[in-house]
Structure 1
Amino acid sequence: MADDDVPGDQATLEAHLRKTSFCAGTEEGRWAVLRYEFPLFEVRVFGRSLLGGTCPMEFQLRCDGFPAIGPFVQHWDLALGARPAPLGADKAAPSIVDALKEWHEHGNIYGGIYRPWQRGAAGHNNWARLRPDLAWHPRRELTFIMEQLYALASEQASWLDSRAAA
């Protein structure tokens, strides 16, 4: 496909993947793109605790319609090629349990990560309207979502460190 034949959402996503802020996150070891085939890309995010612990987590982002609508983001297991089961309270920080819980959008359709910046969750209970500071809008960069995923993985790393120290 010639460059001028690339759909706008794909061209915009690829421009975001080349932005300095996104590349800096990669160079700093916060995340790595594992696979990209538009509209999907899969990443591994390397959360870090203040005590030095790390927690890698994988996510899949579906970016059709980007940036007019934010990505659909879900916890992902690249080896299985599927979303893993939600983590229980004995395996994860409360924020992780909440973000990765099983919930449904429009009946039986899994809604993805439960956060206001995520495509499926944004409209649930008016979450995006109630939390505009965390809601996706087309002027945001993809790095905004990557930083949110990094924060989640870092919370898990901190929780794991606190459990190990207890």
Structure 2
Amino acid sequence: MTLEASAAPADWDVISPDEVRLRTDLARECFAAGERAGKWRNPILAWPTLTVEVAVGDDDYVALRLQLDDYPTQAPGGRLWDLRTGAPLPTNRWPRGESAERVFRTDWSPSNSDAPYLPCDRTGLATHTNWAADYPSRAWNPSRTIAFYLEEIYGELTEARLPYPGQES
């Protein structure tokens, strides 16, 4: 695991329990396995946010910025991110394809912090209070890890494409 700008503090007592749990989950084999498989890469932790690139289609990546305060009690809150500008990725550069467009919906996501339309995301759960019960296999709960969230995003982007191949978000 390579976590840029996120070396663990010398004294673990000075960081919050939610950050301790995230750092523990980032060190788990399930997170490392996703990195080795090329599903995600380049995690950068600047508490309480994690920026990570997720594979899109065969050979592209798109960045996600995740809000992780109160992790894992509260689900991660994600949005597509432009690494060059340090700002949300404009909708015209969002991944395309049937599954990707159901998750990153231009009719819903922009008015909801650009959140993915998924039951593992904090915004999706907050706006669809029935999702945890209706989709338990995909919904966030405190026993989940950050790898679960990234697997859900990755699964929706495997058949997607970026509108500008190699755009390097």
Q: With the length of structure 2 as denominator, give the TM-score of the two structures.
A: 0.79
Flag the 1:55–1:88 CA change in 2: closer, same or farther, 3 A.
Answer: closer
Please list every run of 5 or more consecutive structure 1 residues that lacks an aligned counterpart in the other structure: 161-166
CA distance in 1, matches of 2:118, 2:30: 22
RMSD (Å) for aligned C-alpha atoms: 2.7
Is residue 122 of structure 1 aligned with residue 125 of structure 2? yes
Letter aligned with residue 117 of structure 1: C
CA distance in 2, matches of 1:83, 1:153: 18
| Deviation, structure 1 residue 120 | 0.4
| Deviation, structure 1 residue 28 | 2.2
Given that 1:87 and 1:97 are in contact with CA atoms closer than 8 Å, whether structure 2 keeps it comes out as no
Flag the 1:115–1:109 CA change in 2: closer, same or farther, 3 A.
Answer: closer
Could you tell me which residue of structure 2 aligns to residue 28 of structure 1? 37
Aligned runs of 1:38-117 on 2, under 5 Å? Answer: 38-48=47-57, 53-87=58-92, 92-102=96-106, 103=108, 110=113, 112-117=115-120
1:147 to 132, 151, 155: 151
| Deviation, structure 1 residue 123 | 3.1
Could you tell me which residue of structure 1 aligns to residue 135 of structure 2? 131
Flag the 1:155–1:104 CA change in 2: closer, same or farther, 3 A.
Answer: closer
Q: Which has the larger radius of gyration?
A: 1
CA distance in 1, matches of 2:43, 2:24: 18
Is residue 3 of structure 1 aligned with residue 5 of structure 2? no
Letter aligned with residue 134 of structure 2: L
| Deviation, structure 1 residue 44 | 0.8
Please list every run of 5 or more consecutive structure 2 residues that lacks an aligned counterpart in the other structure: 1-8, 165-169
Three-state SS of the structure 2 residue aligned to 1:140 is: coil
Number of aligned residue pairs: 153
| Deviation, structure 1 residue 43 | 0.6
Flag the 1:55–1:153 CA change in 2: closer, same or farther, 3 A.
Answer: farther
Three-state SS of the structure 2 residue aligned to 1:152 is: helix
Given that 1:34 and 1:44 are in contact with CA atoms closer than 8 Å, whether structure 2 keeps it comes out as yes
Three-state SS of the structure 1 residue aligned to 2:45 is: strand
Is residue 15 of structure 1 aligned with residue 19 of structure 2? no
User: Which one has a larger percent helix, Structure 1 or Structure 2?
Assistant: 1
Could you tell me which residue of structure 2 aligns to residue 163 of structure 1? none
